[in-house]
């Protein structure tokens, strides 16, 4: 029994050791969603999905990319769920979580499910 306790403690210590300030920045949007998408009702609002980043477009000249902007924060993490028709991500920045879920309508349109199904077209 003692050996089992020691084995558990060893696994726990080794598993928890390391750099606590390491950032997990693993944006990996699927190829089908990569590109610029603008709202069909407001062409100055949208999203840009890069090969390794996720960006918000809030005006023709304002683009904020999460990994580029926040990856130096101590608590920046990315969680993703990816399929052929759905992209879901949870972005954690300094303890705050931001959820985004998109569904593919066609090759040139997606919907942002959080905002009453707002539709975005590929540019």
What angle is formed at CA 72 by the lines to CA 33 and CA 51, rounded to 5 degrees? 20
Digit-coded pLDDT (tens) for 66-111: 999 998 888 899 999 999 999 999 999 999 999 999 999 999 999 9
Mean pLDDT of 13-35: 64
Please tell me the predicted confidence (pLDDT) of residue 9.
32
Which alpha helices (DSSP H) does the chain contain, by range?
2-16, 66-70
- Cα–Cα distances in Å, from 85 out to 3, 16, 51, 88? 49, 36, 17, 10
What angle is formed at CA 99 by the lines to CA 96 and CA 103, rounded to 5 degrees? 170
Residue that wins the pLDDT comparison between 4 and 61: 61
Model pTM? Answer: 0.76
Helix (H) or strand (E) holding 43: strand 42-50
């Amino acid at each position: 029994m003692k050996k089992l306790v020691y084995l558990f403690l060893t696994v726990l210590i080794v598993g928890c050791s390391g750099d606590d300030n390491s950032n997990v920045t693993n944006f990996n949007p699927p190829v089908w969603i990569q590109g610029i998408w603008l709202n069909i009702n407001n062409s100055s609002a949208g999203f840009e999905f890069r090969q390794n980043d996720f960006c918000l477009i809030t005006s023709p000249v304002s683009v904020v990319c999460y990994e580029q902007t926040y990856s130096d924060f101590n608590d920046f993490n990315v969680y993703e769920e990816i399929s052929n028709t759905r992209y879901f991500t949870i972005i954690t920045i300094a303890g705050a979580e931001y959820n985004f879920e998109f569904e593919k309508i066609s090759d040139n349109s997606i919907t942002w499910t959080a905002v009453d199904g707002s539709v975005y077209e590929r540019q």
